């Protein structure tokens, strides 16, 4: 007596026909395995990322600050209440030196957005318009004594040169080799350089002043984001910690 059941046939996939049942089962297993793998990798990557720090870039709320504008060692607003100064920059990768120069040593109101990290603050001016209402003359509420640069002890710092705007919140993280190209463009555009060092208490960062100016010479831009040693004097100006160095006092760490 012969077996009349039809012989098994291999399922053949045709794109315009429904997926064969056996193929569909395999695909379901593979998709589930892929989803689990993606979730696992996302978890590993997220937990392995370093904390970028408590930097803030508040672009949701335009604010107004009043105080005295100074140009040295970097464009800064000294508040009437005597609190720590604000560095002043433009939007994008540009310093505000040219725009604010006509208002040097006068009482002004500045309109813009706040960047802040660990008490260091930057005002990012609103875009320039024909009347430039982001910078207006103001009646000073008090008498500002222009603070001298307070001298301190000599120190040898090992760390990294960053651009202040990105590090204070415009980018997260705003340091490291992945940020080197961005930081170089920002510093070339006139944004303030800072030196970040690692201490037992965490990261410390200081405004980098070279021979009295907060600007990184072209020949030192290659040092950005690299391990460097900075030999100089720890100082403070308007409540902002800084280090004053000679360009020759900055060298790569072997």
User: Which CATH number among 1.10.287, 1.10.10, 1.10.3470, 2.40.50 corresponds to the domain 56-137?
Assistant: 2.40.50
Tens digits of per-residue pLDDT, 81-119?
888 999 999 999 999 999 999 999 999 999 999 999 988
Res 220 pLDDT > 70: yes
Identify the residue with better confidence: 68 or 174: 68
Delimit the domains of the chain by residue range.
9-47, 56-137, 154-252
Q: What distance in Å separates the CA atoms of residue 207 and residue 235, rounded to the nearest whole number?
A: 9
Identify the residue with better confidence: 234 or 48: 234
Where do we find the tokens 């831009």? 221
The contacts of residue 133 (CB under 8 Å, 6+ apart) are 111
Residue 57: the pLDDT is: 85
Residue 232: the pLDDT is: 93
Tokens of 10: 């291999």
Res 143 pLDDT > 60: no
Res 27 pLDDT > 70: yes
pLDDT above 90 coverage of the chain, percent: 48
Q: Average model confidence (pLDDT) for the chain?
A: 85
Q: What distance in Å separates the CA atoms of residue 164 and residue 170, rounded to the nearest whole number?
A: 9
């Amino acid at each position: 007596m012969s077996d009349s059941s039809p012989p098994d046939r291999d399922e053949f996939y045709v794109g315009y026909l429904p997926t064969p049942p056996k193929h569909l089962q395999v695909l379901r297993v593979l998709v589930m395995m892929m989803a689990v793998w993606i979730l696992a990798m996302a978890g590993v990557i997220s937990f392995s990322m370093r904390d970028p720090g408590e930097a803030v870039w508040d672009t949701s709320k335009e604010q107004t600050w009043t105080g005295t504008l100074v140009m040295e060692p970097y464009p800064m607003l000294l508040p009437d209440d005597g609190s720590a100064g604000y560095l002043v920059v433009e939007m994008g990768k540009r310093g505000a030196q040219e725009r604010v120069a006509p208002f040097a040593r006068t009482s002004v109101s500045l309109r813009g957005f706040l960047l802040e990290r660990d008490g260091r603050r930057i005002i990012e001016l609103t875009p320039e318009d024909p009347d430039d209402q982001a910078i207006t003359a103001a009646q000073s509420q008090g008498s500002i004594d222009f603070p001298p640069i307070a001298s301190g002890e000599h120190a040898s710092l090992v760390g990294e040169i960053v651009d202040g705007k990105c590090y204070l919140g415009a980018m997260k993280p705003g340091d490291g080799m992945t940020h080197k190209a961005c930081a170089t463009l920002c510093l070339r555009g006139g944004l303030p350089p800072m030196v970040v060092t690692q201490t037992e208490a965490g990261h410390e960062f200081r405004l980098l002043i070279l021979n009295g100016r907060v600007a990184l010479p072209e020949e030192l831009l290659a040092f950005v984001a690299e391990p460097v040693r900075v030999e100089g004097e720890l100082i403070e100006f308007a409540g902002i910690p800084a280090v004053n160095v000679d360009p020759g006092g900055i060298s790569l760490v072997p």
